[in-house]
């Protein structure tokens, strides 16, 4: 049990070090799940970039409350022995560049060619080893505040 606690504490320290002072509502932020899970929701007003690492854990990354910058945004996902579920607005064009070894990337988003030419663009760079990535479009109507 002591080894498990020590590994968990080391994972928390590594996550905080990787994230630095960034927060999910920043226009550029970093997040990490190490030996556990993380649920991250962003309300960034001009999202440009996200770096996410998962090591032997899982992450739910919800960008449905974020607005992309006018130039679009880039997400760099590095998954080793874990999984990520990325949720985006259905109005975004999502392009994925993937390198997968013993894992899978599943996409449930609209075909970019069916969206308006001026739709915001999100590029996802996925490096998945012994894990999985699911990218889903949130098709629910927005809730009025």
**Quick one: pLDDT at residue 144?**
44
CB crowding 103-132: b at 16 or more within 10 Å, else e: bebebebbeeeebeeebbbbebebbbeebb
Model confidence at 145, pLDDT cuts 50, 70, 90, reads very low
| pLDDT, mean over the chain | 90
**Quick one: pLDDT at residue 48?**
98
Q: β-strand 83-89 against 104-108: which pairing, if any?
A: unpaired
Q: What is the share, in percent, of the chain residues with pLDDT greater than 90?
A: 76
pTM: 0.88
Render pLDDT for 19-73 as a digit per residue (tens, 0 to 9).
Answer: 788 999 999 999 999 888 899 999 999 999 999 999 989 999 999 999 999 999 9
**Quick one: pLDDT at residue 67?**
97
Instruction: With a cut of 80, say whether residue 6 has pLDDT above it.
Output: no
- All structural domains of the chain with their residue ranges: 2-138
Q: Residue for token digits 């990337």?
A: 105
Instruction: With a cut of 90, say whether residue 7 has pLDDT above it.
Output: no
The H or E element that residue 31 is part of is strand 28-34
């Amino acid at each position: 049990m002591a080894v498990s606690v020590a590994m968990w504490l080391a994972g928390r320290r590594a996550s905080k070090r990787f994230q630095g002072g960034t927060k999910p509502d920043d226009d550029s932020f970093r997040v990490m799940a190490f030996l556990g899970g993380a649920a991250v929701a962003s309300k960034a007003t001009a999202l440009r970039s996200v770096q996410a690492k998962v090591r032997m854990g899982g992450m739910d990354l919800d960008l449905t409350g974020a607005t992309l910058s006018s130039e679009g945004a880039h997400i760099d996902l590095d998954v080793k022995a874990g999984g990520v579920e990325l949720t985006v607005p259905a109005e975004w064009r999502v392009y994925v560049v993937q390198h997968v070894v013993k894992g899978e990337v599943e996409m449930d988003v609209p075909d970019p060619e069916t969206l308006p030419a001026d739709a915001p663009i999100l590029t996802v760079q996925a490096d998945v080893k012994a894990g999985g990535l699911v990218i889903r479009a949130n098709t629910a109507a927005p809730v009025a505040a």
